[in-house]
Amino acid sequence: MKEILQDKNLAELETLVMEMGEKKYRAKQLYTGLMQGKKISDISDLSKAFKAKLLERFEDEPVRIIETFTSSDGTEKYLFSLADGNIIEGVFMRYKYGNTQCISTQVGCRMGCKFCASTLNGLIRNLTAGEILSEVLVVNALHGGTPEKRQVTNLVLMGSGEPLDNYDETIRFLRNVTAEGGICISARNISLSTCGIVPKIYELANEGIPLNLTISLHNTKDEERMRTMPVAKAYKIEEILKACAYYFEKTGRRYIFEYSLIAGENCDERHAEELIALLKGRPCHVNLIRLNEVKERDLKSTTEKAAYRFLGLLEKGGLSATLRRQIGSDIGGACGQLRAGYLSTKPVE
Ligand code: SAH
């Protein structure tokens, strides 16, 4: 695979174009074109000769949409092809306050959570910062957005992969996607979700990027959490809560716990009580979601009624909590399921 030009920020592009014997201002033209989601070959204000030279070294189209699935509620899911033929997926959701894109940070994942489709084949590879950014650039362009008038206004790092397991590229992506003069999505509109890699949460808190930290909790006791989340063997809930407190201290940002309701696993009345005991008084919010069933796994979702009952118990106990509606469920339930389905019907090149 060639290099990814979208990995570079404006200052790095300036160095590059000058090294290539071009005038410095060409970097701005190049950067503007890339931020508009264009292929290098489609940036019209650069000379053919310069573009040809760039294309010897850099991928013209690091991320390409190969399939779009549209839900009756307006949600869109995409299969993206990467330059090396790997496939990732993404989601575009419309809300009253703007449009949220769910992005992937790795091809596959090595965390092994039992309920998650992204981990079925393990980790294939990390995405580079520029590939992650390109997911956003192409979807923004697809919807007629520009860097000045964005169609993608919010991001959630909740696609395939564990962002803190691809730490350096994820941070580089976050710096570039929030940079002034670029697509410039505010860090406050970005949520990073992690299964709870404690040392990396501390590092993230020290980066000075005021994003929304989201933790996949999914249980109240370490021994039970280990059954569905192998990472729980390495980091205890207690340590996660300490890291979250540090995150709040450093950034002033409330944090969010994701809690997927799995029948018979984590949503009895006892779990509600334990969750209240763990989280009460902390500056946090609990996002409940009914499990999206993954056909390769035998975990089952709880009923809608039981989910509302669980929500009611949390609220009564003084927690701030919501039950997320399952959007786009008519176009491939669980995250990661689309890709898994695609790979099982098409040979990987
Ligand atoms: N690796 C990150 C991002 C993963 S996906 C993390 O672990 O947080 C984002 C959220 O979806 C996580 O909270 C994850 O636990 C949850 N999730 C994964 N598979 C799910 C499924 N089948 N049903 C409901 N939620 C799921």
For residue 349, the surrounding DSSP H or E stretch is none
Residue 49: count other Cβ atoms within 10 Å of its Cβ. Answer: 9
Alpha-carbon distance of 258 to 240, in angstroms, equals: 13
Q: Does ligand 1 come within 6 angstroms of the Cβ of 266?
A: no
Q: Does ligand 1 come within 6 angstroms of the Cβ of 158?
A: yes
Q: Topology of domain 5-57, per CATH? A: DNA polymerase; domain 1 (1.10.150)
pLDDT of the chain along its 349 residues, tens only?
Answer: 999 999 999 999 999 999 999 999 999 999 999 999 999 999 999 999 999 999 999 999 999 999 999 988 889 999 999 999 999 999 999 988 899 999 999 999 999 999 998 988 899 999 999 999 999 999 999 999 999 999 999 999 999 999 999 999 999 999 999 999 999 999 999 999 999 999 999 999 999 999 999 999 999 999 999 999 999 999 999 999 999 999 999 999 999 999 999 999 999 999 999 999 999 999 999 999 999 888 888 899 999 999 999 999 999 999 999 998 776 767 765 566 666 666 666 544 4
**What is the residue extent of each domain of the chain?**
5-57, 63-331
Q: Does ligand 1 come within 6 angstroms of the Cβ of 170?
A: no
Q: Rg (Cα) of the chain, in Å, rounded? A: 21
Return the C-alpha torsion angle 118, 289, 254, 220, nearest 10. -90
Task: Report the separation in Å between the CA atom of 203 and the middle of ligand 1, taken as the mean of its atom positions.
Answer: 22
Task: Report the separation in Å between the CA atom of 158 and the middle of ligand 1, taken as the mean of its atom positions.
Answer: 7
Alpha-carbon distance of 171 to 168, in angstroms, equals: 5
Task: Indicate the residue type of 23.
Answer: K
Name the pTM for this structure: 0.96
CATH number of the structural domain 63-331? 3.20.20.70
- Tell which atom from ligand 1 comes closest to the C-alpha of 115: 22
